[in-house]
Amino acid sequence: MNFVADTHALLWWFTDSPRISSKASVIFEKCEKGEGVIFIPSIVIAEALSIFDKKRVSFDFRNLFKEIKASENFVLILLRRSGDSDAAFCSGHLIVEQVKNLVPRPR
Residues with Cβ < 8 Å from 86, sequence gap 6 or more? 77, 78, 80, 96, 97, 102
Let me know how long the chain is.
107
Which of the residue ranges 1-10, 55-64, 98-107 would you say has the lowest mean pLDDT?
98-107
Distance between CA atoms of residues 37 and 34, nearest Å: 7
Per-residue pLDDT of 10-48, as tens digits, reads 999 988 999 999 999 999 999 999 999 999 988 888 888
Which tens digits make up the pLDDT trace of 47-78? Answer: 888 888 787 777 777 888 888 888 889 988 87
From the list 104, 86, 103, the residue with the least C-alpha distance to 41 is 86
Q: Is the pTM of this model over 0.85?
A: no
